[in-house]
Amino acid sequence: MGRAVKRKVGLFLLAVMVAVSLGAIIVTSLAMYRLASQRYAEEIRKIEASLSDRFAVFQAMLSDQHERITSHMEKVLPAIAQELQAMGRAPADLSSDEMTALAHRHGVQHIYFINRSHVVFQTNFPADMNLAFPKGPFTEFLDTVFGANRVMSDGIDLSQATGTLKTYSYFGPKDKDYIVEISTDVRGSLDATGYGWMARYFFDELLTDPIRSNPSVKELDIYLINQAGTWSLIHPGEKLDAALAERIIKNHREEISSGDGRYLTIYSGEQTASATQPDHPVTAKHVIRKITYDVGLAREAVIQVFISSMIVLALLMPVVFWIASRLLQKQLLDPLFNLRGEAGAIAQGDLNQAIANTDRRDEIGQLAKSFAAMRDAVRQTITDLKDTNISIERFVPQAFLAIVGKPSIVEVELGDNKRKSMTILFSDIRNFTTLSEAMTPDENFAFINAYLERMGPVIRDHNGFIDKYIGDAIMALFESADDALKAGLAMLETLEAFNAGRRAAGQAPINIGVGINSGILMMGTIGEKHRMDGTVISDAVNLASRIEGLTKTYGVRLLVSQYTVESLADPKAYDIRPIDVVVVKGKTRPVTICEVFQRDPAELRTAKAGTRDLLQSGVEALRRHDLVCARGFFEESLQKLPGDMAASNLLQKCE
């Protein structure tokens, strides 16, 4: 027993010595490292501030050069259009050599011709031929240029092909269906005007001066962000990783250390002047600074501190032994006190509390193991309960509980209910009975689950929840009519992708119908104490179901009631038109049913949009019982779109 105690004493003393030595080294090393880190951090902040100031001057230069280029283009662009007019040639008929000659005659680098579909259909830069611009703020700008007969500019942007700064000018000749665009390289423009020293100063010296003035700065760069990526201003053509750029814009800062720890690269992002000044010519909204700094000094300081710490440790060794002797007196008491504290933490609900001394081979170790086993058992029980609650939520949506005012399924009681105005969506697969007869039961379930697996997330992504599945049909609830309508349109879009997969697998595509209605409903629980179910009771629900059924009658995919249209924040934001005024089965009051044709083919969508106002005016006349006026609107609509079912149905209401 004595030898065992002595062995423990010796091991304990050794452990104390090692702990004290490591503690001293860590504390002193961290102090010195913090001092060195503060020093270079302050220098980096100064460099970042300097770069911001220099970039502001750089933006001012860009703005001034943009004005000069734009002023010049006000003469060049109309001259190009007049030359084409005089030649009697369409831009699309020009050959590559003729395009090159046209550019040379007018002293420009690249000429583009853009049609009303926002596609480059002629250019002397082959890489951009047939370039299509995605719908967005830029295409909205282009639409204002067509036929304006004046030179307009969208500012300075980075070339998608080279990453160099260019200023873009546009001219829409009167009565023409195309736009003439000229891109001018800013640096090349400065060189051409005889101010080449200015280009070299701004691009080669102003932004890179911190490297020459501070030996610890090893690399420096500035990036601008546009739709094509994050491009370097100092090293044209180089791009920053898109994921890294996204993190920097989100978090404003990111630090990356080199493999050997000697160099630290700091990325920091901020807004450009155009983010706060909408009329500023620089298109990019964000700029990212990159500074690579030599932090080897901090590591050298740690080495020096390590040596000093070892000397200090040798001097303090007697004190360490004295402290160790005092601590040994409590070798048996401290573990018990620790265990008491750990037990108290577990009793207060901290089930992640670590239990010390479980590796000891004495009675204290066995007691610690027992406490650890108890903690793990309680934690597993609570985890199982949480998993059970999560599983229950698959059958009773959390949104349902929130509406009836119950934070948990445990608190739900029979008869709980809530009256609320909501929007109801019904969807159904067309001819599902015929389709299912050709499949086995297993294939039926696999098909339905594959379909619902696509549609369920669409509803949740639009702030709705599924109240119930009725075979292949879905009933979903939304607090916003706009969310419900967007979800219906997204379901049709998702169906197209689903059908593409079926076609690829040699299977026939399917069709669905979607009906949407808004109104007051009662949501609550029905049943008896041993078997309850959440449900919704309302005429609005029945009407939504009837409307979904009418999609078969009218041969359309998405119908909404007048109540839903009236609940939309901006009905004109959607492609909606009346299709009929009906008295739905089980109802006595007529309801206006509207078709949402937003997902129709482009040509049909345009045709239907042309009759929307006529049909709406006719329906309003019907409501006033002005049948003559209504008939006139519907007949005019039929003349614009012969055979249109909507106009035909509504015209019959005038009889």
Q: What's the pLDDT tens digit per position in 190-203?
A: 666 655 555 555 56
Which residues lie below 8 Å from residue 469, measured CB to CB, with a gap of 6+? 452, 475
Instruction: Please tell me which residue, 33 or 95, carries the higher pLDDT value.
Output: 95
Give the pLDDT band (50/70/90) at residue 228. Answer: low
Instruction: Please tell me which residue, 600 or 377, carries the higher pLDDT value.
Output: 600
CATH of domain 338-394: 1.10.287.130
Residue 461 has pLDDT above 90, yes or no: yes
- What is the C-alpha separation between 49 and 289, in angstroms, rounded? 10
CA nearest to 593, candidates 646, 641, 521, 522: 646
Spacing of C-alpha 400 from chain mean position: 27
Token couple for 367: 């007691």
Give the pLDDT band (50/70/90) at residue 548. Answer: very high
Spacing of C-alpha 132 from chain mean position: 23
Give the pLDDT band (50/70/90) at residue 437. Answer: confident
Q: Tell me the pairing of strands 253-257 and 558-561.
A: unpaired
Q: Is 296 helix (H, G, I), strand (E, B) or coil?
A: helix
Least confident window among 323-337, 382-396, 567-581, 584-598: 382-396
Instruction: Please tell me which residue, 493 or 89, carries the higher pLDDT value.
Output: 493
pLDDT confidence of residue 205: 58
Instruction: Please tell me which residue, 326 or 35, carries the higher pLDDT value.
Output: 35
**Half-sphere exposure at residue 232, Cβ-oriented, CA atoms within 13 angstroms:** 17
Domain boundaries, the chain: 40-309, 338-394, 397-568, 573-655
pLDDT confidence of residue 408: 47
- What is the C-alpha separation between 558 and 565, in angstroms, rounded? 13
Give the pLDDT band (50/70/90) at residue 38. Answer: confident
Residue 311 has pLDDT above 70, yes or no: yes
Token couple for 157: 């942007």
Most confident of the ranges 32-41, 347-356, 359-368, 640-649: 640-649
| Cβ pair 614, 606 in contact under 8 A | no
Instruction: Please tell me which residue, 236 or 518, carries the higher pLDDT value.
Output: 518
pLDDT confidence of residue 1: 42
pLDDT confidence of residue 561: 92
Instruction: Please tell me which residue, 392 or 107, carries the higher pLDDT value.
Output: 107
Residue 92 has pLDDT above 50, yes or no: yes
Q: Tell me the pairing of strands 253-257 and 263-271.
A: antiparallel
pLDDT confidence of residue 284: 64
Which residues lie below 8 Å from residue 644, measured CB to CB, with a gap of 6+? 608, 611, 637, 638
Give the pLDDT band (50/70/90) at residue 410. Answer: very low
| Cβ pair 375, 351 in contact under 8 A | yes
Angle between helices 296-315 and 317-328 (to 10 degrees): 70
Residue 425 has pLDDT above 90, yes or no: yes
Residue 182 has pLDDT above 70, yes or no: yes
607-624 average pLDDT score: 86
Instruction: Please tell me which residue, 13 or 78, carries the higher pLDDT value.
Output: 78
How many Å from the N-terminal Cα to the C-terminal Cα in the chain?
113
Give the pLDDT band (50/70/90) at residue 159. Answer: low
Angle between helices 2-87 and 96-105 (to 10 degrees): 90
Residue 444 has pLDDT above 50, yes or no: yes
- What is the C-alpha separation between 268 and 222, in angstroms, rounded? 10
pLDDT confidence of residue 58: 67
CA nearest to 569, candidates 482, 629, 496, 646: 482
Residue 588 has pLDDT above 50, yes or no: yes
Token couple for 495: 């169906």
pLDDT confidence of residue 274: 63
Instruction: Please tell me which residue, 214 or 629, carries the higher pLDDT value.
Output: 629
CA nearest to 618, candidates 573, 579, 561, 585: 579
Residue 113 has pLDDT above 90, yes or no: yes
| Cβ pair 223, 199 in contact under 8 A | no
pLDDT confidence of residue 480: 92
Is-above-0.75 flag for pTM? no
- What is the C-alpha separation between 581 and 75, in angstroms, rounded? 59
| Cβ pair 625, 593 in contact under 8 A | no
CA nearest to 120, candidates 101, 105, 139: 139
Residue 249 has pLDDT above 90, yes or no: no
Give the Cα-Cα-Cα angle 359, 360, 363 (nearest 5 degrees): 130
Residue 76 has pLDDT above 80, yes or no: yes
Distances (CA, A) of 372 to 275, 356, 364, 385: 57, 9, 12, 20
Residue 4 has pLDDT above 90, yes or no: no
378-385 average pLDDT score: 63
Least confident window among 79-88, 132-141, 214-223, 297-306: 297-306
39-50 average pLDDT score: 74
pLDDT confidence of residue 320: 67
Distances (CA, A) of 363 to 34, 184, 338, 368, 449: 44, 84, 15, 9, 57
Q: Which residues of 278-296 are buried (b: 16+ CB within 10 A; e: fewer)?
A: eebbbbbebbbbbbbbbbe
**Half-sphere exposure at residue 170, Cβ-oriented, CA atoms within 13 angstroms:** 23
With the CA atoms of 612, 617, 622 and 627 taken in that order, what torsion angle do they form, in degrees rounded to the nearest 10?
-110
Distances (CA, A) of 318 to 11, 301, 314: 17, 28, 9
Which H or E run includes 466?
strand 464-470
524-528 average pLDDT score: 57
Residue 251 has pLDDT above 70, yes or no: yes
CA nearest to 645, candidates 559, 584, 546: 559
414-428 average pLDDT score: 77
Q: What's the pLDDT tens digit per position in 495-519?
A: 999 999 889 988 889 999 999 999 9
Token couple for 608: 């239907």
> Whole-number mean pLDDT of the chain?
76
Residue 44 has pLDDT above 50, yes or no: yes
173-186 average pLDDT score: 86
- Residues in the chain, total: 655
Instruction: Please tell me which residue, 191 or 146, carries the higher pLDDT value.
Output: 146
Spacing of C-alpha 591 from chain mean position: 39
Residue 84 has pLDDT above 70, yes or no: yes
- What is the C-alpha separation between 174 and 287, in angstroms, rounded? 38
| Cβ pair 559, 548 in contact under 8 A | yes
| Cβ pair 513, 551 in contact under 8 A | yes
Percent of residues, the chain, with pLDDT higher than 70 = 65
Give the pLDDT band (50/70/90) at residue 24. Answer: low
Query: How many Å is the maximal CA-CA distance in the chain?
Result: 116
| Superfamily grouping for domain 397-568 | Nucleotide cyclase, GGDEF domain (3.30.70.1230)
Give the pLDDT band (50/70/90) at residue 651. Answer: confident
